[in-house]
Structure 1
Amino acid sequence: MTLETESAEDVWLRGHDAQVSSIQTAGFPPQNGALFSGYALARTQRLGGVVLDRSGGLLFANSAFSALFGKTPPNVEAALEALTQRRSRMAFSTNDKRLAAIVYAPADQGLTWSLPPEVRQEAQRPDAAILGLAVAGIDGGKALDDACLALGLSALQSRMAAGLVRTGDVRGGAREAGVTYQTARKVVAEMLVKVGATRLSGLISRLVQLSFGVWPQGRNGEAVLSDVWGLSTRQAALALRLAEGQTRAQAAKATGISEASAKKQLDVVYATLGVSSAGAMARVVTESRALALLAEATHQDAHAGDEFTEPLGLFARADGSQVAYSDHGPRAGRPVLVIHSSSASRAIPMRLVAALQARGFRPLALDRPGFGLTDPVVDRDAYRADPFSGACEDVVRLCDHLKLKRLDLIGRGGAQVVLALTRLHPDIAGGVVLVNPDPPTRERAESRGLLTGVKNAFVRHPEGIEALTRLFVTHLSQGHFERMMTRSVADSPPDAAFMRDPRNLADYARGYRLFLTGRIAGYVDEQIAMTRWSSPRRPDAASWRVLMGAHDVLHDPVETQRFWSDILPETHIETLEDAGRFLIMSHADHVAEALLKSIRP
């Protein structure tokens, strides 16, 4: 039995107990001391805690911290930077091949976190200057133990859970648990009721969720890696097995699929996680869990550098559908919403995150309906009539969710959403910067490369945009994507030079990972709308700033400036001669300074 198909066992288990169908999947109470908080299964008492003086000298370390690092705090340089810059700093350390994550902050700021009691007491010493929290990455077995403990499973149920996760079916679980098949069926039926799943696949999904240390509330039967990375349950199971050290052949056999099928599934996993090997994938999984724990304990103050996972927050619309956002902090910063383009998702370029934070901003981002991890709206036909206005309601919900009255705005190609938001909800918007804003899609006689050809095809056949996009994504691997992007900017010297650095290319690709897995609904809706979009003039935008790259390979800069000058007659428009399509990354400091200038006194 595979993880995605309902078998005779599923039918039997589903009908075994009438209680199963009435179980609610959200709002499980804490069990056995586990704390369900937000989306991370965080246990404060498990966190390592350290208190340092102003020079980085050790004042106190609890037993959990000492077990990880002894009496030598790692990455003291990061601790001193946290004190100097008055903001949290994340670092990773490998000790005896065991990965650990640690976040440092000034002691007075760290006292707002969820701390082990003894750490909180020591952090209030007069000579305490720096506070650190640490958590070690855990292997699959320990993670599964955590999941079983959190769910309150008995010893037999826990053994059965391990067998189910490893083999994917009741017979395999029975074999690993050392019980008969009939006993295993009864045990699994009890587990379905206790866990709140209606099918065997849902039970396995829930176990996989908690094995990765995350509990996405209100999402029935979807694995955590689907919520965080957009993977299917089968892909998540393969990722878990490889992260535990199994070979691809072993993982394929345990999952109930051929090795050839497993290879195809793992290609998607690698592309989505931005890695190229099982070892790198295991590291991402481990870091993701460590980051989830620390982010929860520090109330989202913990954030990592450009090589780590995008921060994830989730909230629900009134109909129960999901909206995903990122909050890079710090909470005391001035909130700025970075609005993604129609061909990406919420991932903000890390250069821009750093530039904004250095100037006192709190960068936020939101996946619009049908993008990334945000669900499409229920009435998609009505939404397609004007997706840019429709997307504004989630921005209002984000403000309510985070208790924000006002947001500055940066549109990285998402100018249509910015115009709709400032028209429909003018009280929300503060300063505004548009970076390489897209004009409506019109057919161009002059070719500017592959991207122009795609746009021309959309104009000629808007009814075929979805089919064309799906075909395109199906045949586009991560490697193909990177090569395509390199070719597409060959005629833009600034962009070509910038993308020669693989770190910049990887940072750019972060925003396209979920697009490559087939999450294209939002892109399709907006591309259709762009073929007919227009806007009235906006003389109220005098304080806004528009930045354009003189070497933009997607649009003619002269024509684009003429178009936006007509719509925004009072707005200052600046063309950067040494920039191209990737201006928001290559000139992140310039963008952040423009935002400061756009803010009215």
Structure 2
Amino acid sequence: MFDSVEQPSSLLDRFAAGDVSMATIDSWQLLHTTADRDPEALAEALQMAAAINASAFTSLAPRAGFGLAVVGLDHRCHYADSRFRAWFGNPGDSPALRRLTHQAARQGQASGLVDDLDGSAMAACAAGPQAAGAWPLPPEVLEIAAAGSRRIVLICFAPSRDKSLALEAAGMLGLTPLESRLAEAMLDAPTVQVAAERIGVGYETAREALGKIKKRLGVKRTSDIVRRLMTLMCGDIFLEPDLKPLMAKVLGATPAEARVGALTAEGLSAPQIAAELGVREATIRGQLKALYAKAGVGRARDLVRIVTEAGALVTMTHGAETALQPESLSGRLRVIQTRDGRQAAYWDYGPRGSRPILILHGSITGRTLPPAFVAMMHAKGWRPIVPQRPGFGLSDTHQGDYFTTCADDMADMLDALRLSQVRIAARDDGAGAALTFAERYPGRVSDAILLRPNASGTRQVRSANTVTGAVKRLFYTQPDLITLIAELMRRQNSTHLLRETILRSAQPIAADQRAISEPTVMTSLIRDCQAMSARTIRGFATEQSLFARGWTPPRQVGGASWRIIEFPEMPMPGIEAVFGYLPGISFGELPEAGLFPYYSHPEQVAGLLTL
């Protein structure tokens, strides 16, 4: 009856046990039948899996933010990297680290704040070799930790201590060189005067630059600047929006102190907090003073910094895996504030004088472009720009209509780049954002290309007899499960599981198999997928829901001509009827292309996009 040797009951059992990703990969043929026969049982099994994998996130963090050490319970240091020694000297000489080490020996893992050699607080975690196995540790460190009994791994996370990370984050926010240097100095300088002296400028110059930074970022307080910098410096990581439990756990804050601290981290002043909570301002200031003492800081921006770093470390050390961010990506990552006050990100591959083309990413990959493809676009005189849609990567989730927000974000990006008109290229689910942009801003679209575009309806599912097609078909027939399944996907995007998913998904297309056989390509795809969903997967879930529930493409769009490039190995029935109304429409093919065309066919795709 079934193509798989398993039966629907075994699939549900594996789902209920939390093994959603591998069960789907192994038994994708059963997905649709199981959903048709017993959708309630499927939903229940997925809910059980969600409870099991509640905190199994994968994070990508900067290498320069970590310090690592291995110590014994006899306080002997078996390993310490240069950053750790610069911060603490010999870890065995630190009373706070010794306490954390013994606490981890009793409990298995322990987190807290420790003072460095200068007396400044820093987020730290300690655990045995097994618990630390998912941390970003070099193999030799794990070997040292496992070489003897009763050894403990210490990890500290302080990206604010690395000047290059701060300057890089400031550059992402579009700050000038002077503004970037001042923002970096303000991470720990007690006053603007001290920051000005540190970077070698006058006080008035620094004060004027600080005002420009606040205006550019749309913030009012220096602590808000620190918060914007720190969220970028910590990497592609889920930061718990509710800081109160974190302050209670890491700082030992009372509920009242944690509530006040969370509002302070959001940028509210003491008078504003007092008004919101309906208490006296003196009470708020007293609670803040107590909280600052527990955190070992003296200002709101220092509290924001230490709580952000501590929160990031808790996520990383309690999640499924923490990997290091790639350090050799080409292009420039930029983050802007949109018209509705959100954050939106994009990659600009330059050069500035070339013809601009917006290249919209796919369903869950395509945030970055492979160097070979970028080089070919440059050689043909084009400037690739890759927006991250709302709820993907570093872009905040949408607040109103999703595709309208996508279009408005893209317009805001073009305004920031001072570009009046562009060519658009979009693949699979990116077609929705491309069409909506062309509807809302027809004069800003010169022409457009849609690569393997998706559309609504079960009859428009591509490659239904593959694992990716089976999941898509499940989404279309059971749209109420999309958000739950998407969140489970996010919680099961470890390197191992993603590698297996990519290997299985590539099986139907020989060109995809050849592309991912190159280790650097496989790693790039894995890290791309992890970065796209590390903070949230709401963008993916929203797009899938819109397509599943019958989203209708706009009929009146700009652009002198539209080209549809179909992939014969992954056809969509009736594609001419779906997109035949577009102005100047023409249809073409890219033979042998599959899921990863920028990697498998860089020259051909570059040629199609630059015709």
TM-score, normalising length: structure 1? 0.52
- Which residue in 2 is equivalent to 1:546? 564
CA positional deviation for 1:514: 2.1
- Which residue in 2 is equivalent to 1:485? 502
Say if 2:609 is the partner of 1:592.
Answer: no
Q: Distance between the aligned counterparts of 1:588 and 1:482, measured in 2?
A: 22
Say if 2:449 is the partner of 1:433.
Answer: yes
What residue identity is the alignment partner of 1:213?
A: A
Q: Deviations over 1:172-227 (max 9, x none)?
A: 317x44x7xxxx89x9xxxxxxxxxxxxxxxx867357573345565553674755
| Equivalent in 322, 332, 336 of residue 353 of structure 2 | 332
Say if 2:394 is the partner of 1:358.
Answer: no
CA contact (8 A) 1:541 1:568 kept: no
- Which residue in 2 is equivalent to 1:504? 521
What residue identity is the alignment partner of 1:593?
A: G
CA positional deviation for 1:346: 2.6
Q: Distance between the aligned counterparts of 1:346 and 1:225, measured in 2?
A: 19
CA positional deviation for 1:426: 1.3
Q: Distance between the aligned counterparts of 1:583 and 1:345, measured in 2?
A: 10
- Higher share of residues assigned helix: 2
CA positional deviation for 1:433: 1.6
Where relative contact order (Cα < 8 A, 6+ residues apart) is larger, the structure is: 2
| Equivalent in 533, 552, 569 of residue 534 of structure 1 | 552
Say if 2:356 is the partner of 1:403.
Answer: no
CA contact (8 A) 1:451 1:488 kept: yes
CA contact (8 A) 2:509 2:592 kept: no
CA contact (8 A) 1:337 1:410 kept: yes
CA contact (8 A) 1:352 1:589 kept: yes
| Equivalent in 480, 491, 515 of residue 463 of structure 1 | 480
CA contact (8 A) 1:140 1:211 kept: no
CA contact (8 A) 2:452 2:564 kept: yes
Change (3 A) 1:545 1:590: farther
Figure out how many residues of one structure are paired with residues of the other and give that number.
Answer: 362
- 5+ unaligned residues in a row in structure 1: which ranges? 1-137, 146-158, 188-203, 235-254, 274-283, 289-306
What residue identity is the alignment partner of 1:419?
A: L
Say if 2:322 is the partner of 1:269.
Answer: yes
CA positional deviation for 1:588: 2.4
Q: Distance between the aligned counterparts of 1:354 and 1:142, measured in 2?
A: 41
Q: Distance between the aligned counterparts of 2:462 and 2:391, measured in 1?
A: 31
- Which residue in 1 is equivalent to 2:57? none
- Which residue in 1 is equivalent to 2:115? 173
When the two chains are superposed, the root-mean-square deviation of aligned CA atoms in Å is: 4.4
CA positional deviation for 1:571: 1.6
Q: Distance between the aligned counterparts of 2:412 and 2:604, measured in 1?
A: 30
Deviating more after overlay: 329-338 vs 472-481? 472-481
- Percent of residue pairs bearing the same amino acid type: 22
- 5+ unaligned residues in a row in structure 2: which ranges? 1-80, 89-93, 102-109, 123-156, 174-223, 241-308
Equivalent runs, 1:177-326 vs 2, <5 Å: 177=118, 207-208=160-161, 210=163, 212-214=165-167, 215-216=169-170, 218=224, 221=227, 224=230, 226=232, 229-231=235-237, 265=319, 268-270=321-323, 273=325, 288=327, 307-308=328-329, 311-326=332-347
CA contact (8 A) 2:377 2:610 kept: no
CA positional deviation for 1:375: 0.8
CA positional deviation for 1:492: 1.7
- Which residue in 2 is equivalent to 1:246? none
Q: Deviations over 1:252-287 (max 9, x none)?
A: xxx999x9997654x5321x62xxxxxxxxxx5xxx
The secondary structure found in structure 1 opposite 2:448 is: strand
TM-score, normalising length: structure 2? 0.51
Q: Deviations over 1:145-168 (max 9, x none)?
A: 9xxxxxxxxxxxxx9xx99xx998
Q: Deviations over 1:228-272 (max 9, x none)?
A: 7322579xxxxxxxxxxxxxxxxxxxx999x9997654x5321x6
CA contact (8 A) 1:438 1:560 kept: no
The secondary structure found in structure 1 opposite 2:604 is: helix
The secondary structure found in structure 1 opposite 2:442 is: coil
The secondary structure found in structure 1 opposite 2:501 is: helix
Q: Distance between the aligned counterparts of 1:495 and 1:232, measured in 2?
A: 30
What residue identity is the alignment partner of 2:455?
A: P
- Which residue in 1 is equivalent to 2:70? none
What residue identity is the alignment partner of 2:590?
A: L
CA contact (8 A) 2:514 2:600 kept: no
What residue identity is the alignment partner of 2:489?
A: F
- Which residue in 2 is equivalent to 1:303? none
CA positional deviation for 1:343: 2.3
Say if 2:407 is the partner of 1:417.
Answer: no
Deviating more after overlay: 519-528 vs 575-584? 575-584
